[in-house]
């Protein structure tokens, strides 16, 4: 399709050159023809008409005449207002199918030997609570993006930074020490991340109680929040941790271990993984070193209380703390270190952070700071900022237990898929294990598609009382279309009908077929656009359109029961390739496709 557009553009330029005697350096705007008009590609002639000094309608007709004469693939044309609709000859689509017939990886760009390296960071959990729906969105976008970037010819490194140190984990640790009575995930028969999360909530409850008491005793709330004994204890624990206190370290390792075991289960259920995991407990040291070096060079400064700051007011930003007065590191410190470590590890061409938009400011500062510190590759740090997932009553708050838990959500989706599947009863003949596998794919497909079809920038309001759809513009709709296609191909094999290796060019595809093949032809461009815009939603919407076009075709025409050989052959190849494209496209979203459903 891209080639054809180029051909047309070239021809238009040549025709203009011949007509006016000068080169036309403006744009030639070509778009897919809207459904209600006859044609496949449309040249917008308004600007061209100006060059030709003729009214748009007349210029369009003249141009159409020229193009039909010069281009073998353009069968005829019509002009409506200033739009020149070109009808592509049916043989072009047959040839197109022949061309991609044996491309197993059609639509994907192989990574060349000197392909750019793209590091993608996503997930980045805190180790003090289980993953919730917000994390799910992060993981799905990050994983999908890594597939898309890889499909676009990049070498991709999936990374995760585990925020395993800091005051938050100390809060859980302290609460466990005080009220845990030595409980473990085994004894509680609870996933480790949930158990640790419970203690985080416990800390917050007790802390709030203390603050309330102190306020009742006459202390201003601001002061009470800073001076509550529990908080002071947690801060003391962080200092001891950073000083390497063996008892604190032991507790920290144990509780983090519980959390990791829990995360692994969730990651596995979601189908996401990483090539390299960084731990903040390592990278903060590098960050501290960077800050102290910058201090020596006078790029940052120390205040009287001992804290270290960067002054970014020249850049239109504020002052930013880099080390606390007690010398401990903050979030920014470790991110400086992580960035440097990754640079040393990969010398990336791009480093994409998949992090929520609440941290826009943080990444703005990070980039400017890295630049100020003398790292020219700071420009390669890209923040893919995605919107929040909110509940109807507002933001999710782990501290208050108001969250949609990731594990529950996944289990619920699979359960719904099972109920619907059993009701429809199409999986008879499969054993229980095979059925479960199908339900798992469908449940997760529904969840992933639901999240990924939405523009990452936008906030999502998720109402747990309303279930995620399985009909219409959904993952299961596309999966179902794929299962239908596979079913047809299985039946073809049963009947010893082979999908032809090559098609004769006599067949003229009908309207629905042309529409579908046109979509298949668009796929490489969709992949490229999605990579350029870091936007999985483009792939999702493409897959939907393609599935819809196939279903419309399928409804109106027979494939195997078609008696005319040319038509049957064309449809078989088209069906095969549609299935492949759907499989590939959904794969870019991290969605698996069942062979039957």
Contact positions with RNA (CB under 7 A) in 304-333: 305, 307, 318, 321, 324-326, 330-331
Count interface residues toward RNA (CB under 7 A). Answer: 95
Among residues 1, 94, 417, 593, the one that binds RNA under rule CB under 7 A? 417
For the four alpha carbons of 182, 186, 189 and 190, in that order, the dihedral sign comes to positive
For residues 243-302, which are near RNA according to CB under 7 A?
Answer: 280
For residues 191-230, which are near RNA according to CB under 7 A?
Answer: none
Cα dihedral 324, 325, 326, 327, rounded to 10, equals 60
Through-space distance between the first and last CA atoms of the chain, rounded to whole angstroms: 33
Question: Per rule CB under 7 A, is residue 82 in the interface with RNA?
Answer: yes
Of the pair 351, 441, the CB lying nearest RNA is at 441
CA distance linking residue 129 with residue 208, whole number of Å: 19
Stretch that binds RNA, among 16-24, 176-184, 268-276, 544-552 (CB under 7 A): 544-552
Among residues 246, 298, 393, 424, the one that binds RNA under rule CB under 7 A? 424
Answer for the pair 368, 441: CB distance below 8 angstroms, yes or no.
Answer: no
Among residues 477, 507, 523, 570, the one that binds RNA under rule CB under 7 A? 477
Give the neighbor-by-neighbor strand order of the sheet with 394-395: 394-395, 389-391, 460-461
Among residues 51, 115, 167, 292, the one that binds RNA under rule CB under 7 A? 167
Question: Per rule CB under 7 A, is residue 81 in the interface with RNA?
Answer: yes
Among 316, 204, 191, 321, smallest CA distance to 262 is for: 191
For residues 225-254, which are near RNA according to CB under 7 A?
Answer: none
Question: Per rule CB under 7 A, is residue 71 in the interface with RNA?
Answer: no
Stretch that binds RNA, among 173-181, 242-250, 264-272, 474-482 (CB under 7 A): 474-482
For residues 334-373, which are near RNA according to CB under 7 A?
Answer: 334, 357-362
Question: Per rule CB under 7 A, is residue 455 in the interface with RNA?
Answer: yes
Question: Per rule CB under 7 A, is residue 136 in the interface with RNA?
Answer: no
Among residues 116, 153, 387, 401, the one that binds RNA under rule CB under 7 A? 387
Question: Per rule CB under 7 A, is residue 458 in the interface with RNA?
Answer: yes
Question: Per rule CB under 7 A, is residue 158 in the interface with RNA?
Answer: no
Which residues make Cβ contacts (< 8 Å) with residue 576, sequence separation at least 6? 485, 489, 499
Among residues 36, 114, 494, 564, the one that binds RNA under rule CB under 7 A? 36
Among residues 20, 46, 76, 247, the one that binds RNA under rule CB under 7 A? 46
Give the neighbor-by-neighbor strand order of the sheet with 83-88: 30-32, 41-44, 83-88, 74-80
Of the pair 434, 455, the CB lying nearest RNA is at 455
CA distance linking residue 264 with residue 333, whole number of Å: 27
Structural tokens at position 293: 């070096």
Of the pair 305, 344, the CB lying nearest RNA is at 305
Q: b/e string for 424-434 if b means 16 or more Cβ within 10 A?
A: eeebeeeeeee
Q: How far is the CB of 425 from RNA (least distance, A)?
A: 9
For residues 390-409, which are near RNA according to CB under 7 A?
Answer: 394-395
Of the pair 41, 195, the CB lying nearest RNA is at 41
Stretch that binds RNA, among 64-72, 288-296, 343-351, 454-462 (CB under 7 A): 454-462
Report the 10 Å Cβ neighbour count for 102.
9
Report the 10 Å Cβ neighbour count for 339.
29
Of the pair 155, 484, the CB lying nearest RNA is at 484
CA distance linking residue 61 with residue 242, whole number of Å: 77
Among residues 189, 471, 496, 563, the one that binds RNA under rule CB under 7 A? 471
Q: Contacts for 254-257 with beta carbons within 8 Å, 24 or more apart?
A: 255/127, 255/169, 255/172, 255/173, 255/176, 255/196, 256/127, 256/164, 256/169, 257/192
Among 333, 320, 409, smallest CA distance to 133 is for: 409
Which residues make Cβ contacts (< 8 Å) with residue 542, sequence separation at least 6? 519, 522, 523, 526, 585
């Amino acid at each position: 399709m891209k080639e054809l557009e180029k051909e047309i553009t070239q021809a238009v330029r040549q025709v203009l050159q011949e007509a006016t005697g000068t080169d036309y350096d403006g744009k030639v705007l070509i778009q897919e023809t809207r459904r209600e008009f006859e044609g496949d590609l449309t040249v917008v002639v308004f600007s061209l008409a100006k060059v030709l000094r003729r009214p748009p309608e007349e210029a369009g007709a003249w141009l159409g005449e020229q193009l039909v004469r010069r281009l073998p693939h353009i069968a005829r044309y019509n002009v409506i207002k200033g739009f020149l609709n070109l009808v592509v000859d049916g043989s072009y689509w047959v040839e197109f199918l022949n061309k991609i017939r044996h491309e197993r990886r059609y639509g994907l760009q192989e990574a060349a030997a000197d392909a750019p390296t793209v590091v993608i960071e996503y997930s980045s959990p805190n180790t003090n609570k289980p993953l919730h729906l917000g994390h799910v969105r992060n993981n799905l976008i990050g994983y999908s993006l890594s597939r898309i970037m890889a499909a676009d010819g990049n070498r991709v490194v999936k990374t995760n930074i585990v925020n395993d140190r800091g005051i938050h984990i100390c809060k859980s640790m302290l609460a466990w020490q005080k009220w845990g009575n030595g409980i473990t995930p085994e004894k509680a028969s609870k996933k480790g991340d949930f158990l640790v999360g419970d203690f985080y909530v416990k800390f917050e409850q007790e802390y709030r109680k203390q603050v309330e008491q102190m306020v009742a005793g006459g202390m201003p709330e601001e002061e009470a929040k800073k001076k509550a004994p529990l908080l002071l204890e947690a801060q003391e624990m962080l200092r001891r941790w950073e000083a390497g206190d063996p008892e604190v370290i032991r507790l920290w390792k144990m509780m983090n271990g519980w959390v990791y075991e829990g995360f692994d289960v969730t990651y596995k259920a979601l189908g996401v993984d990483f090539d390299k995991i960084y731990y903040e407990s390592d990278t903060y040291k590098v960050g501290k070193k960077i800050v102290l070096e910058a201090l020596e060079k006078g790029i940052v400064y120390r205040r009287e209380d001992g804290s270290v700051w960067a002054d970014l007011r020249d850049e239109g930003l504020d002052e930013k703390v880099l080390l606390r007065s007690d010398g401990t590191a903050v979030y920014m410190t470790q991110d400086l270190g992580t960035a440097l470590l990754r640079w040393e590890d990969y010398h990336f061409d791009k480093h994409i952070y998949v992090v929520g938009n609440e941290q826009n400011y943080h990444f703005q500062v990070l980039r400017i700071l890295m630049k100020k510190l003398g790292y020219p590759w700071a420009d390669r740090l890209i923040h893919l900022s995605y919107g929040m997932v909110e509940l109807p009553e507002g933001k999710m708050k782990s501290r208050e237990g108001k969250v949609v838990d990731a594990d529950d959500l996944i289990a619920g989706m699979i359960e719904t898929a099972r109920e619907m599947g059993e009701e429809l009863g199409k999986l008879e003949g499969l054993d229980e294990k095979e059925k479960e596998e199908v339900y798992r794919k469908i449940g997760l497909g529904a969840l992933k598609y639901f999240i990924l079809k939405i523009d990452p920038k936008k906030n999502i309001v998720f109402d747990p009382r309303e279930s995620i759809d399985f009909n219409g513009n959904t993952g299961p709709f596309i999966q179902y279309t794929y299962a239908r296609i596979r079913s047809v191909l299985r039946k073809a094999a049963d009947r010893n009908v082979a999908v032809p290796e090559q098609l004769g060019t006599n067949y003229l595809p009908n309207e629905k077929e042309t529409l579908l093949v046109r979509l298949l032809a668009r796929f490489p461009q969709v992949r490229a656009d999605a990579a350029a815009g870091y936007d999985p939603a483009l792939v999702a919407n493409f897959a939907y359109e393609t599935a819809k076009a196939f279903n419309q075709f399928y409804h109106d025409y027979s494939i195997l029961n078609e008696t005319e050989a040319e038509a049957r052959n064309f449809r078989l190849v088209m069906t095969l390739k549609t299935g492949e494209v759907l499989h590939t496209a959904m794969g870019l979203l991290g969605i698996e496709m069942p062979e039957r459903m």
